[in-house]
């Protein structure tokens, strides 16, 4: 089960690198610039800008957590494999004895 979630996390992170997502974030950045530079913005525009800031902050946190999760899972799996190998290496029978 954990392998599935780690794989799905990795696939999601990879999908964030697509041109479509990059374009969407570029449009969002342009919108931020327009809203920040607007003289006398409407209250809804200020609320929108605040929402975008919160979204981007949470989005960055999510990306960081997913990267950590994927990395930690990979390290844990590697350690389990290493432990399994170490346990089995003591069970080997020498033919020269």
In tens digits, what is the pLDDT along the chain, a chain of 97 residues?
567 888 899 899 999 999 999 999 999 999 999 999 999 999 999 999 999 999 999 999 999 999 998 887 766 655 555 555 566 655 554 455 4
Identify whether 15 is part of a domain. yes
pLDDT of 74 reads 65
Identify whether 92 is part of a domain. no
CB 67 within 8 A of CB 80: no
Which residues, at least 6 apart from 38, have a Cβ–Cβ distance to it below 8 Å?
45
Identify whether 94 is part of a domain. no
Neighbours of 52 (CB within 10 A): 15
pLDDT of 4 reads 86
Identify whether 20 is part of a domain. yes
Q: How many domains does the chain have?
A: 1
Identify whether 66 is part of a domain. yes
pLDDT of 97 reads 46
Q: Which domain does 18 fall in, by range?
A: 2-86
Q: What are phi and psi of 12, to 5 degrees?
A: -65, -45
């Amino acid at each position: 089960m954990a392998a599935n979630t780690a794989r799905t996390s990795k696939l999601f992170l990879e999908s964030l690198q697509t041109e479509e997502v990059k374009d969407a974030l570029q449009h969002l950045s342009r919108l931020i610039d327009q809203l920040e530079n607007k003289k006398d913005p409407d209250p809804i525009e200020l609320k929108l800008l605040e929402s975008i800031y919160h979204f981007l902050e949470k989005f960055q946190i999510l990306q960081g957590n997913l990267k950590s999760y994927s990395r930690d899972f990979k390290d844990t799996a590697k350690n389990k494999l290493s432990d399994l190998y170490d346990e089995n290496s003591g069970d080997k029978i020498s033919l020269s004895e």
